[in-house]
Chain A
Amino acid sequence: EAQVTQNPRYLITVTGKKLTVTCSQNMNHEYMSWYRQDPGLGLRQIYYSMNVEVTDKGDVPEGYKVSRKEKRNFPLILESPSPNQTSLYFCASSYEGSSNQPQHFGDGTRLSIL
């Protein structure tokens, strides 16, 4: 089944403890991205990647890192999480970065930073 898989689905952790949220897609998509969803703010893009080894900042990149060493994986790294990063995170992918391609979303990861 074609899908975008995120892990973990839920995580409660403490301020300053490094964490990684993994994202993997099995559709051979070139384009991958991360979003956070907050009430009243909708979804905001954190980082995106047009292809392997190519990443770019989205609208809210502060406090996050990403890497794209392989086409299928696009992990989101929080080196020193803070409470304002408590949110619902979505990974998405699309066939290519052209603007008319729809994005396929994962199920989301709910992070709580205490």
Chain B
Amino acid sequence: AQRVTQPEKLLSVFKGAPVELKCNYSYSGSPELFWYVQYSRQRLQLLLRHISRESIKGFTADLNKGETSFHLKKPFAQEEDSAMYYCALNDYKLSFGAGTTVTVRA
């Protein structure tokens, strides 16, 4: 059963507009959730994790246990944010969502 769902495969926004990437999970314990980003022709890299509650490159993500969601948000998208974004749940086995490709247009 899929544990991480990213409902949007593609997301296109204009530069300066807000962007929100949705992530829903199914897990019975306390989840460890991450967002990874893959820029064109680069390796996957950690963007942020819920445990650290930090903002990276202007992105934030809040864990909502009631809605079992971990949506990624940025108030003002930049062209360099164009990338593939993966939500992931880790309980020794890291489960990824299908990914969302974000395109930020000038």
Q: Which residues of A contact B (CB under 8 A)?
A: 33, 35, 40-45, 48, 50, 58-59, 90, 92, 97-103, 105-108
The answer to the question of B25 belonging to the interface, with a C-beta cut-off of 8 Å to chain A, is no
In the bound complex, residues from chain A placing their C-beta under 8 Å from that of B46 are 102-103
| Further contacts, 19 of them, CB under 8 A, given A42-B86, A48-B93, A59-B93 | A35-B94, A40-B98, A42-B98, A42-B99, A43-B96, A43-B99, A45-B93, A45-B95, A58-B93, A92-B94, A98-B92, A99-B32, A99-B91, A100-B32, A100-B51, A102-B46, A103-B94, A105-B43, A105-B44
Most B-side CB within 10 Å, residue of A102, A103, A107, A108: A102
Which single member of B42, B44, B51, B92 contacts A50 (CB below 8 Å)? B92
Assess whether A108 is in contact with B43, with CB atoms less than 8 Å apart: yes
Which single member of B6, B43, B51, B97 contacts A107 (CB below 8 Å)? B43
In the bound complex, residues from chain A placing their C-beta under 8 Å from that of B45 are 105
Complex Cα gap A107–B40 (Å): 12
Q: How far is the CB of A2 from chain B (nearest CB, A)?
A: 13
Q: How far is the CB of B4 from chain A (nearest CB, A)?
A: 8
In the bound complex, residues from chain B placing their C-beta under 8 Å from that of A105 are 43-45
A99 with B96: in contact, given A40-B9, A105-B43, A106-B43 (CB under 8 Å)? no
In the bound complex, residues from chain B placing their C-beta under 8 Å from that of A92 are 44, 94
By beta carbon, the residue of chain B nearest A43 is B96
Complex Cα gap A107–B44 (Å): 8
Complex Cα gap A85–B100 (Å): 23
Complex Cα gap A67–B96 (Å): 23
